[in-house]
Amino acid sequence: MFDKYFGDSQLALFPKTAQQVSTILAYCNEHHISVVTQGGNSGVAGGAIAHNGEVILSLRDMNKVREIDSVAGVIVAESGCVLEDLDNFVQEHGFIMPVDLGGRKRCMIGGNVSTSAGGLRYLRYGSMHANVLGLEVVLPDGRILDALFSLKKDASGYDIKQLFIGAEGTLGVVTAVSISLAPKPRSSQIAVLGLNEFSKIHRAFVLARQNLGEIVSAFEFWEKRCNEIVVEFEKYDSPLDRDHEFYVMIETRGSVVSHDAEKMDMFLECLQDEGIVDESRVFSESEAMAAVWLFRSQMASAHTKSGCMYVYDFSLPPKHQYDLLVATKQHMTSLGLYGNDDSPIKDITEFGHVGDQNLHLQVIAREFGGAVEAALEPWIYEWVGSHGGSVAAEHGLGAHKGKFLKYSKSPVVIQTMKDIKQMFDPRGIMNPGKHISCA
């Protein structure tokens, strides 16, 4: 947890079946014993950490694929299946998982569902809410909610599964998932762009949607300091030869190599005609594309090596995305915390997924706590809320952000969430002190 969250538990249980989970929760509910569910422990919001001696319920042994339908393009898998393992498995059947994360080697599909993970290709394949077809959930009192449907169209009553997507283990334990798969692409390429103005990123995005259309699968950006940090601390080569104020990475996935390459050429020509890019490079070999993705996906890891990282996961309207970085630097400079070689804050950086309006802001301090944390919070959440943003885009609320939910959700919405929590978990045993419980 980036050295920020530490656990406290005397007991960890490793069930292998939903029935065993049911027995455990029924006992814990009867005896008022709190439970924290864990998957791959790859989250960054502390939502799966047992802080106060709760029983840990690890789902790592529930790791079987129950079924794959190669006609419908649907897989039914248990929650402990590692995302990368699932992706490798479905590729053998001509599909890919619709969600892809930097933590794919550790994160598990149950955790992806429970945090409503977004990821790197949200732009193309959509959210967990869109791709999950059904769930098997063990409720706090031990009852097994069998909503493990595999149908893509079902209008028969309330869509119960949606309540558990993003609930972070506060309403029950997700034990199995039915999820819609995406066809494995036959053609893929990556373009990396160098730009000198943030506004040109948005123009490039508009042109990408117009010229590349349905084959765009990712549209990422990062600024100059992020690039320098990855080069310095991960020892990776920059994807471009020259330094730029901003970088954009665009991935396309299609079915015909020549067709997709032609569309990319036309797109880059449009960028050149409008004077948007200073440098561009296209990667089409699998090894080279993997290297570019590695550069991008290790951005958070590189920042942790550079200092004590406060990482923020926001959604913001396009017109305010760069304003967040500027405002944070100005705020910290005005307080004497940033701007000099010996300042308490070493770096403030920003990168993210332009296609889904999700930004990651990193504040790299010399140590956690003290004046830096007091200056950041709640100021940064207030700023995001006042500019029409969400205080949690894809990492979840976890152990820390529930108390800041009021900046982006109305009192009625928050109370409705609490009412739902009370209905499902009246004894409050599921992941106490997290998520809506601390709002």
Condensed to tens digits (0 to 9), the pLDDT of residues 250-274 reads: 999 999 999 999 999 999 999 999 9
Q: Is the pLDDT of residue 295 over 80?
A: yes
Mean pLDDT value of segment 317-336: 97
Backbone dihedral region of 388: left (phi > 0), alpha (psi from -120 to 50 degrees) or beta? left
Q: Is the pLDDT of residue 3 over 90?
A: no
Of 101, 102, 110, 123, nearest to 18 by C-alpha is 110
Tell which wins on pLDDT, 3 or 144.
Answer: 144
- The strand pair at 132-138 and 173-180 is best described as antiparallel
Q: Is the pLDDT of residue 293 over 80?
A: yes
Give the three-state DSSP class for 2. coil
Distances in whole angstroms, Cα of residue 271 to Cα of each of 210, 211, 226, 389: 12, 11, 23, 29
Residue 244 has what pLDDT? 98
pLDDT tens by residue, 422-431: 999 999 999 9
**Which helix (DSSP H) or strand (DSSP E) does residue 66 occupy?**
strand 65-69
Alpha carbon distance 144, 428 (integer Å): 18
Of 40, 20, 73, nearest to 179 by C-alpha is 73
Distances in whole angstroms, Cα of residue 312 to Cα of each of 126, 151, 236: 22, 36, 24
Alpha carbon distance 164, 421 (integer Å): 11
Residue 5 has what pLDDT? 66
Mean pLDDT value of segment 379-393: 95
Give the three-state DSSP class for 229. helix
DSSP string for 91-143? HTTTEE-S---TTTTT-BHHHHHHTT---TTHHHH--HHHHEEEEEEE-TTS-
Give the three-state DSSP class for 388. coil
**Which helix (DSSP H) or strand (DSSP E) does residue 222 occupy?**
strand 216-223
Mean pLDDT value of segment 271-282: 97
Alpha carbon distance 252, 124 (integer Å): 9
> Hey, what amino acid is at 408?
S
Residue 367 has what pLDDT? 94
Alpha carbon distance 100, 88 (integer Å): 12
State pTM to two decimals: 0.91
Neighbours of 392 (CB within 10 A): 25
Q: Is the pLDDT of residue 397 over 60?
A: yes
Range with the poorest average pLDDT among 39-48, 202-211, 305-314, 334-343: 39-48
Average pLDDT of the residues of the chain: 94
pLDDT tens by residue, 176-189: 999 999 999 999 99
Whether 165 and 116 have beta carbons less than 8 Å apart is answered as yes
pLDDT tens by residue, 96-150: 999 988 788 999 999 999 999 887 888 899 889 999 999 999 999 999 999 999 9
Q: Is the pLDDT of residue 175 over 70?
A: yes
Q: How confident is the model at residue 1 (pLDDT cuts 50, 70, 90)?
A: very low
DSSP string for 139-194? -TTS-EEEE----S---SS--GGGGTTT-TTSS-EEEEEEEE-EEPPSEEEEEEEE
Range with the poorest average pLDDT among 27-36, 79-88, 102-111: 102-111
Q: Is the pLDDT of residue 164 over 50?
A: yes
Alpha carbon distance 39, 85 (integer Å): 14
- The strand pair at 345-353 and 216-223 is best described as antiparallel
Tell which wins on pLDDT, 420 or 396.
Answer: 420
